[in-house]
A = this chain, B = another copy of it.
């Protein structure tokens, strides 16, 4: 069903995006068209990546998922960086972390929990992820922030570059750990839920779709970021709110849908992997890559978030870790995560 809607959205959305941007339609209409089209294209990119991953086998497949999983987010952010919208990029990174942990995690646990009294997932993965979340969000993001109070901008950027390089190395090491040296070491009885997987598309078709969708996403993203200022003015939204809530939801909508569907099918390992794995990808791969890419642009980006952004991410991590540390979820834990998301949404709206 989603597939047909997405197909429809692309067939309508891509031409509308082109025409609208040429004819200078009102920013809010363009913003809506762009967002909807990107969501639909992201859905196709996800399916193409999935097909390629199955064809390529678990190791290369895991690598593909780990690098292309947040391609849309990455593309939008690069265009925003190029346009000098650093605070929007930081806000949308924040929003991705909050959205994945609290909104996706929350909806998955809540909706899954309405159907099943208790849902279990691999507790070893939960602990492995907890360590990485603390490293990637708490240590690696709080640290440059605290030091930035005492460093000048150049030193602060140097620290950010170091942190970024170390994060990318650790991210690659985590893939090595998970896909090679410790593959299958921490498997529990609940883990045989994947079953036989067959690729939806052939390798050639998947590559073609991935390429076309990426070009389209890039084209539309470039237009999208230039609507932010005007949309903010018209709707009374701050740039931070657009970044934290709107861009983050648009950039991750496809994944959100899959996670919730998986939870509803009681495949909690997959749902948790999407929610937390995607957060780690954002924090340990997308964010550092953006810092390094920004070195080539006029305005370089340090990993220095605003205090509300940073605290929101840290709180989301602590809440998620506390709730998932027992490898067991229920509707109430989902509701708790959603409650935190609403509080944060209100806070950023008021900001």
Interface residue ranges, A against B (CB under 8 Å): 117-118, 124, 127, 130-132, 134-135, 138-140, 142-144, 146-147, 149-151, 155, 158-159, 162-163, 166-167, 169-170, 173-174, 177, 181-182, 185, 307-308, 311-312, 315, 318-319, 321-323, 325-326, 330-333, 335-336, 339-340, 342-344, 346-347, 350-351
Contacts and interface: CB of A to CB of B under 8 A. Distances in A.
Contacts of A130: 322
A298 to B, nearest CB: 24
Contact of A147 (B132, B135, B350): B350
A335 to B, nearest CB: 6
B146 A311 contact: yes
A331 B124 CA distance: 15
Contacts of A127: 322, 325-326
Given A134-B322, A142-B311, 15 more contacts: A117-B185, A127-B326, A131-B322, A134-B319, A135-B340, A139-B343, A142-B315, A143-B315, A146-B307, A146-B308, A149-B307, A151-B350, A169-B339, A170-B339, A177-B332
A258 to B, nearest CB: 25
13 contacts: A131-B336, A135-B319, A138-B318, A139-B319, A142-B315, A143-B343, A143-B347, A147-B347, A147-B351, A150-B351, A159-B350, A163-B346, A321-B322
Contacts of A138: 315, 318-319
Give the oligomeric copy count. Answer: 3
A322 B333 CA distance: 19
Contacts of A323: 131
Nearest to A174: B332
Contacts of A139: 315, 318-319, 340, 343
Contact of A335 (B162, B170, B339): B170
A118 B182 CA distance: 9
Majority secondary structure, A binding face: helix
Contacts of A333: 131
Nearest to A152: B350
A200 to B, nearest CB: 33
Nearest to A102: B139
Contacts of A143: 311-312, 315, 343-344, 347
A252 to B, nearest CB: 21
Contacts of A142: 311, 315
A343 B169 CA distance: 12
Task: Give the one of A147, A150, A163, A330 with max B CB within 10 A.
Answer: A147
Task: Give the one of A117, A149, A318 with max B CB within 10 A.
Answer: A318
Contacts of A351: 147, 150-151
A170 B341 CA distance: 13
A132 B322 CA distance: 9
Contact of A150 (B166, B308, B346): B308
Given A117-B182, A181-B331, A339-B135, A350 B315 contact: no
